[in-house]
Chains A and B, each alone.
Chain A
Amino acid sequence: MKTVFRFVLLAALVALGIWLWCVFFPGPEKIIRKRLTELARTASFSSGESDLARLAAAQNLAGFFATNVEVNIDVPGRVQHTFMGRDEIKEAVLGARSTLSGLKVQFPDINITVTPDKQSAVADLTVEVNIAGERDSIVQEMKFTFQQTDGEWLITRIETVRTLSRTGRRTNFPVLSC
């Protein structure tokens, strides 16, 4: 009984040690996940935001991106935009926050692949956006490329993933008219 107790205690201590190690020395994947959660929180807002808060939020949000970031958003029937650099993102954020009455951003699914040198990573994720006053949410799969710069993981590129593709090899197949 004593041996069993010692074994259980040892296992618990090992588990605690691993947990503490993960808490104090998180891997790149965990850091990126945390960054994405913070990004979603910063990008979300509700109505009644002051100008100062709006400016601070835009500044905060720009801090998630590298200076030479490239963002290509192409949601069929909704949005089609390309932003180059932090300043353009900041302007877009300010514009969106002053025109929309509220926004909720979520990343329900995140898959992260870190390169072997642990200097860059790609996050394939689902973006779910709820605009205040609109019934249906916008859902889009996107790819975020991260680069580690001065110990910080910054987004260098965002591109839209075509989950369903409409383009195909054009054929000369005869088309019946009906």
Chain B
Amino acid sequence: MPAQNPVEQLNGRGRSQVPRWLRIVVIGRNPKVTLARAAVLAILCVVVFKFCLLHIRVEGISMLPAYQDGSAHFVNRLAYLWHEPRRGDVVGIRLAGPHVMYLKRIIGLPGETVAFVNGRVLINGEVLDEPYEKLPSDWRLPPVKLGPDEYFVVGDNRTMPPENHVFGKVERDRIVGKTIL
């Protein structure tokens, strides 16, 4: 009887050592289909997480109490494909690129005048109802008129002096998307 090819021997041994149920769990009944599924899933993940949802981690306390320091969220880049940003939306604002963003809430829309008096926001002279703002604030800031393509964004936590808080007017093209989750 001729000696068995060492590769065949190895393969034969390998096949016998891996239980059938484990092979099914790991690579499925049909490895080709499993491979195709994995490829589709990988492409889907790349597309979704590169072009649709951006994963963000909050750093800082400026969005307390709604967004805790260190919490993880997603920014939906497709949120404003069909409509423009709305008041109350929490949005990601890009700096030079999308790797580091500001997370702020839109309080003023294009063309409006935004002011702060005794911690309350005034839009065109009328007090804005802000149910999300739960921390005390005593900000007083003169009215700012927004241009046709500008939004006014600010953090929810206004307990610190305005000088220590990043907020203000932002152009529409800097708004990356709306936060979800």
Contact = CB atoms under 8 A, between A and B. Distances in A.
Contacts of A168: 143-146, 169
Nearest to B115: A175
Contacts of A125: 96
Interface residues of B, number: 39
B159 interface: no
> Per DSSP, are chain A's interface residues mostly helix, strand or loop, or mixed?
loop
A177 interface: yes
Interface stretch (A8-16, A43-51, A103-111, A148-156): A103-111
A173 interface: yes
A165 B141 CA distance: 13
Interface in A139-178: 139-141, 161-171, 173-178
Chain B CB count within 10 A is highest, among A141, A161, A163, A169, for A163
A42 interface: no
Contacts, number: 101
Given A126-B100, A176-B117, 14 more contacts: A76-B166, A77-B164, A108-B100, A109-B95, A111-B96, A111-B97, A126-B97, A139-B100, A141-B96, A164-B93, A165-B169, A166-B141, A171-B113, A175-B122
B143 A173 contact: yes
Give the top 10 A-B pairs by smallest Cβ distance, nearest first: A109-B97, A168-B144, A164-B168, A77-B164, A108-B99, A141-B95, A166-B168, A109-B96, A126-B95, A126-B96
Interface string B66-90: 0000000000000000000000000
Nearest to B118: A178
